Amino acid sequence: MDRSIVIVPGIGNSGADHWQTYWETALPGATRIAPASWDTPDLSDWIAALDAAVAAARTPPIVVCHSLGCLLFAHWRAAAARPVHGAFLVAVPDPDGPRFPAAAQAFARVPDGDFGDRPVVAIASSDDPYDPYGRAIGWAAARGAKSLVVGARGHLNAASGLAQWDEGRALFTAFTAGLGA
């Protein structure tokens, strides 16, 4: 694939055993956002970090978001003029759910509107503790994303034991093939 990829982790970043880290290493043209406030996320800092990563990409990138990074993408998309080629959203959290981090409340008020004219897919787990009521799919669909529930996989993170998450990589490959990436 000759397409820039921007990796957008959630709160606390994605550690060495997270599929996003494996993908960043394995996918040519992949880079990760670099906000200064990983553990106490500041929305404006994260928006600036995503905007800088998209601006630095050599082509309009495919954005690969996990958890809070998905809500960041929605905030950024509402204000951004920079193009993306598509977005792959994984484990969108429910900001009204009981486990949504208090430190991330600024991300909870996502602007209305859709994701624009670029393809977006949202991947969810049927037993995500950060989406206990299953609202992620409806949230994403209301913004124009196609959605897929992959079964009981927890929060689709390192704690879920996914390692490089081959299933997700196959879904990503199919998504990018549909983009002509």
- pLDDT over 70 (residue 181): no
- pLDDT over 80 (residue 2): no
| Tens digit of each residue's pLDDT (9 = 90 or more) over 143-176 | 999 999 999 999 999 999 999 999 999 999 999 9
Q: What would the mean pLDDT of 83-107 be, rounded to a whole number?
A: 96
State how far the Cα of 126 lies from the Cα of 92, in Å rounded to an integer. 12
Two tokens at 72?
A: 């960041």
- pLDDT over 60 (residue 71): yes
Domain ranges of the chain: 5-179
Mean pLDDT over each residue of the chain, to the nearest integer:
94
Write down the pLDDT at residue 1: 57
Q: Which helix (H) or strand (E) holds 169?
A: helix 166-179
Q: Which helix (H) or strand (E) holds 122?
A: strand 120-124
Architecture of the CATH domain 5-179: 3-Layer(aba) Sandwich (3.40)
